[in-house]
Structure 1
Amino acid sequence: MLAILSVLMAFASISTDLYLPALPAMAIALRANAGTVELTISGYLVGFSLGQLLWGPLSDRYGRRLPIAIGLVLFIAGSAGCAISTNAPMLVGWRALQAVGACASVVLARAMVRDLYAGHRAAQMMSTLMTVMAIAPLVGPSAGGLILHVASWRAIFWTLVGVGLATLAALHVLPETLPPERRNRQPLHRAAAGYAELLGHRRVLGYAGAGGFFYGGIYAYIAGTPSAYITYYHVSPQFYGLLFGAGIVGIMLTNQINSRLVMKLGSDRLMRAGTVGAAIAGILLALDGWTGLGGLSGLVIPLFLFISATGFIVANSIAGALGSFPERAGAMSALIGAIQYGTGITGSALVGLFADGTPWPMGCVIALMSIGSLLCAMLLVPVAAASSGEAKATGQENHAALNKTAPIEGMTP
């Protein structure tokens, strides 16, 4: 089950990271400039962000498995559409459909974790899943570069069609984690009011803002690094894959550190530490992008530090938000995801809008987003001491949650 959940959560990375090295080639083939082709990332994020708001309430009402299956079918159709696109606007549209399907897997995998675990244990399991799923972005750009070396960029999207079909075939072994007696019978047309109610809680805003602003920086990184590395510093697509992969190794390491320390230090404290590190790295990156004094190394090192902060920010912000309303895990997961990828839209779009052929727009956007993440974590999430009483309460919450999911075979707390 750990493997399946990891694959489902990796769909966001698979859908984007695999074709990143092909962005310059796609711009030439489709007769579009770099900024226009980078909008394929923004179009994907629009579908990914809004689609989650649909899948969350559906899964709370009808269970997790059926919406995932429907989403995979949409993902396959969208990937095939991308492969046959003949111009940039057409590609952007198919990317949006691809994203609506892919986000079902991601948002419902997070909800399934909350179905099974609670408290710091949920944050620990989220870190473990993110470490496993990090294999996808680790090998994605390199694999995309290899495909591009032997075939056209269209072959990359046909590869995604194959990934979707394989995942759909494997879905029959995934157990349902939300039994009928725990489902939310609230009418679907009231979902918007439910989201507004969730956003009325300051703590939820803090977790959503910390993760959301950080995602804005991540997607500025995704949108800006192909141009910064390949076009500006003239590195090969294959070497770009290695540079991108180095950041994924950093994510894997910090996720492992987070999973080992979260029970001792608490998820909120580790999240705040991550936002501090990301803000420092963002400021250094902006300075290098403005002055260019550090050269390629001055770009690589701050980007590595920034992206490595993912291990402390993302899992803990998601687990904290889900723990606030465990009975509405699907809707909360969808809301958090929509906010995160909504800011991702902003981050990637700003990089494309202000693209000037230098790394400066990317560095500036990352700096602003990381500072926003820091402010949300520090000002909106209440500071709570990690006392023994808190640990005891968390243990009791985990015990109760696991009792509720006892019929699921193979789950070991």
Structure 2
Amino acid sequence: MSTAVDSRRDTVPGLSAGLLITLALLSAVAPFATDLYLPAFPAMVTDLHTSPTAVQLTLTAFLLGLASGQLVFGPLSDRFGRVRPLVIGAAVCVLASLAAVLAPSVEVLVAARFAQGLTGAAGMVIGRAIISDLATGRDAARAFSLMMIVAGVAPIVAPLAGGFLVEPLGWRGALAVILGLVVLMLVAVLAVVRETHTSERRARLRDQTAAAGSPLRELAGRSYLGNLIAFGFAFAVMMAYISASPFVYQTMMGLSSAEYGMMFGVNAFGLLLMSALSARWTARAEPRALARAGLVVIVVSSVVVWALAISPAPAGWLALPLFTAVAAMGLIFGNTTALALSAAPRAAGTASAALGATQFLLAALVSPLVSIGGEHTAQPLAVVMVVASVLACAGFALARPASE
């Protein structure tokens, strides 16, 4: 650990505060686009003359777009540099967001949301690659955790804002707020982000490839794959909670949309707090140890959710294990991301793309599963959480160094 990091506990060498905030904004667009309009689902069913399943598809389409878009923009950023694909993606995302606001039918909205996710993915995947260009090891783990602190404002503000804005502005107004954030993202990219994967750096990596073989071989290593699995299935636990949360809090617990937003915000604050602690603890603890602790917590929390779901206990008791499961993600996301990308330094964009694609593909798969049993049971949510958390731990065990 460098002296600079020790003496400035909230900074990382090579990453200015402005750049870190901008990269966090790129990552925050996805949770805003996911969470802000969740309280509007019932109104969308009525206004668009459609079914709850069709409205749910607007979320699934967005997640599928995020997954596939990262597979496109990650490799492009390895080949052409970070800035050009990032600017193109952000610009097209503005147009897709406008189409979502003006969508005349649920079918058009689903298509617009897919395009929004596809192009919005550029910011997420390239943002991670930029950090990987500038930092490694504990510095990278701290950078990703610090970025999550800033980006963590999104899941706190989004449901709170959605809960209060949906009634006066409607669901189109909520989507218009997302459009404004995407425009802000584009402006921030143009103003702050500079090329970190220069032509000289790309040429140097090509020379290394000639000597050491394809950098894609690093993606098949146990360290990268294991941490990718841990990260992806941990996020699946998070996405299962997000998808089921309107029904758990509003239908089962009887909360209003504003109260739902407040509960959602409390859980997101737990994630924010643990991300901040993770960033500080990297000065004393290895990223792997922190991630391991977080994984243990989500497994235990998921089992408790399952036990409560099959018992006659009041639905309100689910609030505590859901809080601990979400908060524990603050120990997992930043550290497993740093561990995965550090295992594939010569293909950071592609490694980041595979990480993000796995994350959102799994999220898209689990989102519909949590509502299989209807709006009045948490059992499908519990099963998904238990299975995904166990698989996350299995992946993490696969990445275990030989010295452990």
**TM-score normalised according to structure 1 size:** 0.87
Query: In the TM superposition, what whole-angstrom CA distance separates every residue of 1:37-73 from its partner, at most 9, and x where no partner exists?
Result: 2222211111100110110111111111111111112
The 2-side partners of 1:92 and 1:360 are apart by 28
Q: Return the match for 1:311 from 321, 330, 354.
A: 330
Answering whether residue 171 of structure 2 is matched by residue 162 of structure 1, we say no
Determine the structure 1 residue equivalent to 2:308. 288
Answering whether residue 67 of structure 2 is matched by residue 49 of structure 1, we say yes
Determine the structure 2 residue equivalent to 1:215. 235
Q: Return the match for 1:241 from 261, 268, 271.
A: 261
The 2-side partners of 1:108 and 1:355 are apart by 38
> Residues 218 and 343 of structure 2 are in contact (CA less than 8 Å); yes or no, is this contact kept in structure 1?
no
Pairwise CA distance, 1:30: 2.2
Determine the structure 2 residue equivalent to 1:97. 115
Q: Return the match for 2:368 from 338, 349, 352.
A: 349
Q: Return the match for 1:254 from 251, 274, 283.
A: 274
Pairwise CA distance, 1:353: 4.1
> Residues 38 and 352 of structure 1 are in contact (CA less than 8 Å); yes or no, is this contact kept in structure 2?
no
Determine the structure 2 residue equivalent to 1:370. 389
Change (3 A) 1:195 1:26: farther
Q: Which amino acid aligns with 1:41?
A: L
Bigger drift between 374-383 and 249-258 goes to 374-383
Determine the structure 1 residue equivalent to 2:297. 277
Answering whether residue 319 of structure 2 is matched by residue 300 of structure 1, we say yes
> Residues 252 and 315 of structure 2 are in contact (CA less than 8 Å); yes or no, is this contact kept in structure 1?
no
Change (3 A) 1:248 1:273: same
Query: What secondary structure sits across from 1:314 in the alignment?
Result: helix
Answering whether residue 154 of structure 2 is matched by residue 136 of structure 1, we say yes
Gaps in structure 1 of 5+ consecutive residues: 187-193, 386-413
Q: Return the match for 1:87 from 100, 105, 129.
A: 105
Pairwise CA distance, 1:227: 1.4
Pairwise CA distance, 1:383: 5.8
The 2-side partners of 1:232 and 1:119 are apart by 44
Determine the structure 2 residue equivalent to 1:203. 223
> Residues 272 and 378 of structure 1 are in contact (CA less than 8 Å); yes or no, is this contact kept in structure 2?
no
Query: In the TM superposition, what whole-angstrom CA distance separates every residue of 1:194-219 from its partner, at most 9, and x where no partner exists?
Result: 79744421221110110111111111
Q: Which amino acid aligns with 2:341?
A: L
Bigger drift between 220-229 and 197-206 goes to 197-206
The 2-side partners of 1:117 and 1:164 are apart by 27
Pairwise CA distance, 1:354: 4.4
Pairwise CA distance, 1:19: 0.8
Determine the structure 1 residue equivalent to 2:92. 74
Q: Which amino acid aligns with 1:237?
A: S
Pairwise CA distance, 1:262: 1.9
Q: Which amino acid aligns with 2:181?
A: V
The 1-side partners of 2:402 and 2:141 are apart by 17
Gaps in structure 2 of 5+ consecutive residues: 1-18, 207-213
Query: What secondary structure sits across from 2:367 in the alignment?
Result: helix
Pairwise CA distance, 1:167: 2.2
Determine the structure 1 residue equivalent to 2:200. 181
> Residues 87 and 190 of structure 2 are in contact (CA less than 8 Å); yes or no, is this contact kept in structure 1?
no
Determine the structure 1 residue equivalent to 2:344. 325
Query: What secondary structure sits across from 2:341 in the alignment?
Result: helix
Pairwise CA distance, 1:35: 3.2
The 1-side partners of 2:108 and 2:215 are apart by 32
Change (3 A) 1:180 1:39: same
> Residues 35 and 355 of structure 1 are in contact (CA less than 8 Å); yes or no, is this contact kept in structure 2?
no
Change (3 A) 1:290 1:24: farther
Query: In the TM superposition, what whole-angstrom CA distance separates every residue of 1:85-128 from its partner, at most 9, and x where no partner exists?
Result: 23333322211100011111011111111111111110011101
> Residues 195 and 335 of structure 1 are in contact (CA less than 8 Å); yes or no, is this contact kept in structure 2?
no
Answering whether residue 42 of structure 2 is matched by residue 24 of structure 1, we say yes
Determine the structure 1 residue equivalent to 2:210. none
**TM-score normalised according to structure 2 size:** 0.89
Query: In the TM superposition, what whole-angstrom CA distance separates every residue of 1:251-306 from its partner, at most 9, and x where no partner exists?
Result: 1111111112123220111111111100000111112122240421x111111011
Query: What secondary structure sits across from 1:264 in the alignment?
Result: coil
Determine the structure 1 residue equivalent to 2:285. 265
Determine the structure 1 residue equivalent to 2:7. none
> Residues 355 and 361 of structure 1 are in contact (CA less than 8 Å); yes or no, is this contact kept in structure 2?
no
After the TM superposition, which parts of structure 1 deviate over 6 Å for at least 4 consecutive aligned residues?
none
The 2-side partners of 1:75 and 1:304 are apart by 32
> Residues 89 and 122 of structure 2 are in contact (CA less than 8 Å); yes or no, is this contact kept in structure 1?
yes
Pairwise CA distance, 1:349: 2.4
Aligned-residue Cα RMSD (Å) equals 2.0
Query: In the TM superposition, what whole-angstrom CA distance separates every residue of 1:212-261 from its partner, at most 9, and x where no partner exists?
Result: 11111111111110112112222111111111111111111111111121
Determine the structure 2 residue equivalent to 1:359. 378
Answering whether residue 137 of structure 2 is matched by residue 119 of structure 1, we say yes
Q: Which amino acid aligns with 1:121?
A: D
Determine the structure 2 residue equivalent to 1:11. 29
The 1-side partners of 2:300 and 2:370 are apart by 20
